[in-house]
């Protein structure tokens, strides 16, 4: 029971990270109808930028944890958002009205560019840091097994909640949010009504990238490592989460993220950890076959 509770806590923390990445996938798919294959690698870049800025800040003497965290968060979000913007501008916008396969291959190409860029610029080995946020609470203890809630996990969940709230407010109440929803429904009409479609799409990518960078920072803090390949697997899992929750649905993305995080954690804890990725991928397949619109998605009737 305690083991279960611990895994539950771990799963929620991991799931929050996946959820943040999943939001980026679902937003982009909703607005331009493409799977951004490079999004996972944006997450990876976010992790790297967080790592580097952390190292630099600490070395110039800023060591107070909250200050460092805040600065790293801002720098990572800003830089990664710029990466997201640049990728969209270079690789996707020219192909927006092109044939089906072109944006997909362009995205795959961009994914290779990003992951190899970090490999080339930072070396191929994984980078690790000492834990930055330490400590936690022991929730309860029985038979020598303690169920712990680390400060790290609290930070992850709280930050995720805060971002979710901010983001939901953005989509529901601001002009940008309204423009995004309009473009999702009918781009041509939105353009005719004066919405700057290019800018709205760019902002969608930018916000998605910023959220992914926060996920990257959290991943770094939680696992203490980053490597150039983490975007690929995390990307597929996050996309699974987006699909599970219903592509195009924001609460769905978060819900899906939590589900994937929990499933992965429990699978690794109770079955085998080598095949935990297989579990996540299999869920993707199962969901798409049996529940193609996901948990919270809208059913699509084929127009003949």
Partner 1 sequence: MAPPSSDARSTAPQAGFAFILKRSLISAAIALALFSLMIGVRTEAGPTGVLIYWTRFGDLALLVGAVFIGSIAVELARAFVGPVDIAGRMPEALREILAALQRFLVPALLAFAVLIPVIFYQQRYILDLSILVLTYVMLGWGLNIVVGLAGLLDLGYVAFYAVGAYSYALLSTTFGLSFWICLPLAGILAAFWGMMLGFPVLRLKGDYLAIVTLAFGEIIRIVLLNWQSLTGGPNGISGIPRPTAFGIPLTAGADGLAARLGIPFSPTHRIVFLFYLILALALLTNWATIRLRRLPIGRAWEALREDEVACRALGINTVVTKLTAFALGAMFGGFAGAFFATRQGFISPESFSFQESALVLAIVVLGGMGSQLGVALAAIAMIGGFELFRGFDQYRMLVFGMAMVLLMIWRPRGLIGHRAPSVYLERREAIAADLVKEGHG
Partner 2 sequence: MTGADILEVTHLSMTFGGIRAVNDLSFTATRGAITALIGPNGAGKTTVFNCITGFYKPTAGMIRLVHADGRDFLLERLFDFRIAKRAKVARTFQNIRLFSGMTLLENLMVAQHNPLMRASGFTVLGLLGAPRYRAAERAAIERARHWLDRIGLTARADDAAGNLPYGDQRRLEIARAMCTEPALLCLDEPAAGLNARESEALSELLLSIRAGGTSLLLIEHDMSVVMEISDRIVVLDHGVKIADGTPREIRDDPKVIAAYLGSDEEFARAEMEGSA
CB of 295 to partner 2, least distance (A): 18
Query: Which of 5, 119, 202, 293 is the binder for partner 1 (CB under 8 A)?
Result: 119
Binding segment for partner 2 among 19-27, 80-88, 112-120, 296-304 (CB under 8 A)? 296-304
Binding segment for partner 1 among 78-86, 136-144, 251-259, 260-268 (CB under 8 A)? 78-86
E strands along 90-177, which residues?
127-128, 136-142, 145-150
**What angle is formed at CA 184 by the lines to CA 181 and CA 190, rounded to 5 degrees?**
80
- What the block records as the tokens of 131 is 């834990």
Rounded to an integer, what distance in angstroms lies between the CA atom of residue 128 and that of residue 224?
A: 5
Q: Name which of 84, 15, 27, 33 is nearest 264 in CA terms.
A: 15
Q: Residue 101 interacts with partner 2 (CB under 8 A)?
A: no
Residue 211 and residue 165 in contact, taking contact as beta carbons nearer than 8 Å: no
CB of 149 to partner 1, least distance (A): 27
Q: Residue 304 interacts with partner 2 (CB under 8 A)?
A: yes
Binding-site size for partner 2 (CB under 8 A) equals 3
Query: Which of 251, 266, 281, 295 is the binder for partner 1 (CB under 8 A)?
Result: 281
- What the block records as the tokens of 75 is 């720098």
- What the block records as the tokens of 182 is 């309009």
Q: Residue 302 interacts with partner 2 (CB under 8 A)?
A: yes
Residue 9 or 215: the one with the smaller Cβ distance to partner 1 is 215
CB of 100 to partner 2, least distance (A): 14
Burial class (CB in 10 A: 0-12, 13-18, 19+), 250: buried
Q: Residue 105 interacts with partner 1 (CB under 8 A)?
A: yes
Handedness of CA 289, 290, 294, 299 (dihedral sign): positive
* From the list partner 2, partner 1, none, partner contacted by residue 285 (C-beta under 5 to 8 A by kind): partner 1
Q: Residue 167 interacts with partner 1 (CB under 8 A)?
A: no
Q: Which residues contact partner 2 by CB under 8 A?
A: 301-302, 304
């Amino acid at each position: 029971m305690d083991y279960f509770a611990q895994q539950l806590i771990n799963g929620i923390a991991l799931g929050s990270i996946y959820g943040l990445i999943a939001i980026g996938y679902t937003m982009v798919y909703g607005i331009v109808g493409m799977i951004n294959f490079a999004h996972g690698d944006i997450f990876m870049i976010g992790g790297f930028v967080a790592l580097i800025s952390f190292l630099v800040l600490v070395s110039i003497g800023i060591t107070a944890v909250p200050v460092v965290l805040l600065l790293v968060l801002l720098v990572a979000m800003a830089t990664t958002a710029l990466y997201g913007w640049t990728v969209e501008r270079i690789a996707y916008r020219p192909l927006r009205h092109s044939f089906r396969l072109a944006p997909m291959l362009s995205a795959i190409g961009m994914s290779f560019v990003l992951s190899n860029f970090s490999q080339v610029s930072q070396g191929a080995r994984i980078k690790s840091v000492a834990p930055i946020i330490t400590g936690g609470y022991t929730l309860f203890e029985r038979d020598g097994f303690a169920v712990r809630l680390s400060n790290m996990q609290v930070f992850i969940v709280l930050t995720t909640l805060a971002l979710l709230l901010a983001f939901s407010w953005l989509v529901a109440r601001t002009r940008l949010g309204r423009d995004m929803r309009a473009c999702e429904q009918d781009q041509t009409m939105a353009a005719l009504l004066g919405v700057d479609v290019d800018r709205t799409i760019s902002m969608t990518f930018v916000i998605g990238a910023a959220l992914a960078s926060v996920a990257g920072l959290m991943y770094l803090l939680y696992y203490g490592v980053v490597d150039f390949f983490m975007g690929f697997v995390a990307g597929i899992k996050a996309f699974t989460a987006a699909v599970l929750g219903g592509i195009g649905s924001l609460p769905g993305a978060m819900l899906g993220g939590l589900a994937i995080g929990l499933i992965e954690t429990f699978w690794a804890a109770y079955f085998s950890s080598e095949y935990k990725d297989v579990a996540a991928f299999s869920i993707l397949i199962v969901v798409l076959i049996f529940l193609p619109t996901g948990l919270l998605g809208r059913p699509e009737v084929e127009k003949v």
